[in-house]
Amino acid sequence: MSLSRRNLVGASGLALLGAAAVSGRVQAQSIPEAPTTTTNTMQPPLYPKSGPDYQPVVTLNGWTLPWRQNGDWKEFHLVAEPVEREMAPGMIARLWGYNGQSPGPTIEAVEGDKVRIFVTNRLPEHTTIHWHGMLLPNGMDGVGGLTQPHIKPGKTFVYEFELKKSGTFMYHPHADEMVQMAMGMMGFFVVHPRDPDLYRVDRDFVFLLATYDIDPGNYLPKVHEMLNFNMWTFNSRVFPGIDHLVVRKGDRVRVRVGNLTMTNHPIHMHGYHFEVTCTDGGWVRPEARWPETTIDIPVGAMRAYEFVADVPGDWALHCHKSHHTMNAMGHDIRTFIGVNKREFAKQMRRMVPDYMPMGGAGMADMGEMEMPLPDNTLPMMTGFAQFGAVEMGGMFTVVKVREGLAAGDYKDPGWYQHPPGTVAWEWKGPTPTSTSAPGAKPVPRGGTPVQVVKPRGGHGSH
């Protein structure tokens, strides 16, 4: 999993405190090591080696946190710390996260498990962790000042609770929340059903929606921004840097999406009708599920949907707010559609020899040309596929459904090879006749006027 391990006991001298009374269970035992990674691509699923069976999730551009068994307790170790996240090749963001990445690693466990989670703070300020949507003792809820003391820099706290129900949940701070969540502190917490056959799927994907405002050439998000974000991300990555969802034909597939941004996101998938099967409040009963092609993810919520992958192809998956499929968007960009910029371009080239006038016929040319950009900035529209520029950015990826894949094969199979005659093509024949308005006399290709019969009633048909 491309992990390194850090021993945070002994010479480090970190104090062990409790989010609530930890009792004598931890005693003098060592803190579990904290795995870490800086890998930007999806890591293989972490299959359980003991305990109840389950189909593990895979996290887009992410990974699952390993755990150790200590008596009746599954023990995890999260480290809150500054991280660097490559949003896509050519752009690095300096964020805050967990265990080397933002978002942090996905935590997986099973309904009924007792979990003990050590949280070490390596940030320059205090923090906590709230287990979003989970049912647990009040003193483990993670609201700084209300249910626990803050975790000061250099300190380690312990959270202990039993997992009361299965479902999809999230974790994030409830301390200086405006700054810490804006800097990328968040992660997924997946609790599998105790019955391994309940709601089982063949492939299970998770990702979080996050937004940032990062000026061109800069590395840090503007944490005080409320509305004008310019980087719209799946797991703090933007297209073309977002992993594809690789699926075997015939698989039952679940996609879990959590939203910790400041607006809703209508997530749309092409090629399929799917069923909404889970929220952060729990599973939707089979008789209560509803069909969709777009599911709106509210702020602070999670939605999961499922489908049977029976149609091969490269199917787009994206937010349907058009500005959310753009990168590094400026909010003061003028619209030049229909403007003749020829004379303006001559004047500009005297100062900037490489200047190219763009936007007079729309913005598609920006997705096809390589333009000079400031350091550490992405084009607004970028990414190519087998037929040319995709003209997307931000919250956009591809579901790749293929025949013949192995059960655990998530490798990118390349672009879909369409059967002959199944791709839209350019018409080379005569120009079709345009449709005429009611009462007009359309002229067909032969040039002879067509008699138009006026509908009965004198004022048009009803």
Whole-angstrom CA distances from 167 to 180, 213, 253, 301, 304 are 25, 31, 16, 12, 10
User: What confidence score (pLDDT) does residue 354 get?
Assistant: 62
Q: CA dihedral defined by 419, 247, 323, 62, rounded to 10 degrees? A: -150
Residues 127 and 150: beta-carbon distance below 8 Å: yes
User: What confidence score (pLDDT) does residue 323 get?
Assistant: 86
Rounded CA-CA distance 61/78 in Å is 18
User: What confidence score (pLDDT) does residue 324 get?
Assistant: 87
Q: Which of 201, 248, 241, 235 is nearest to 403 (CA)?
A: 248
Range list of β-strands (E), 222-352? 231-234, 245-248, 252-259, 265-269, 274-279, 282-283, 291-292, 294-297, 301-308, 313-319
> Where do the domains of the chain lie?
4-308
At residue 200, what is the residue type? R
User: What confidence score (pLDDT) does residue 440 get?
Assistant: 56
Whole-angstrom CA distances from 144 to 118, 134, 138, 174, 401 are 16, 17, 12, 6, 45
Q: Which two tokens stand for residue 91?
A: 């752009």
**Which segments in the chain show pLDDT lower than 50?**
1-28, 361-362, 367, 443, 445-462
Rounded CA-CA distance 109/162 in Å is 10
Q: How many other C-beta atoms lie within 10 A of the C-beta of residue 137?
A: 13
Q: Which of 386, 395, 46, 408 is nearest to 248 (CA)?
A: 408
Rounded CA-CA distance 50/69 in Å is 9
Whole-angstrom CA distances from 68 to 32, 45, 63, 248, 389 are 7, 17, 16, 32, 46
User: What confidence score (pLDDT) does residue 272 get?
Assistant: 97
User: What confidence score (pLDDT) does residue 252 get?
Assistant: 98
Q: Tell me if the pTM is above 0.85.
A: no
- Tokens 């149609």 belong to 311
Residues 6+ apart with CB under 8 A from 9: 30, 31
Q: How far is CA 143 from the centre of its chain?
A: 25
User: What confidence score (pLDDT) does residue 193 get?
Assistant: 97
Instruction: Name the fold adopted by 4-308.
Output: Immunoglobulin-like (2.60.40)
Q: Which two tokens stand for residue 242?
A: 């977002």
- The DSSP call for residue 16 is B
At residue 437, what is the residue type? A
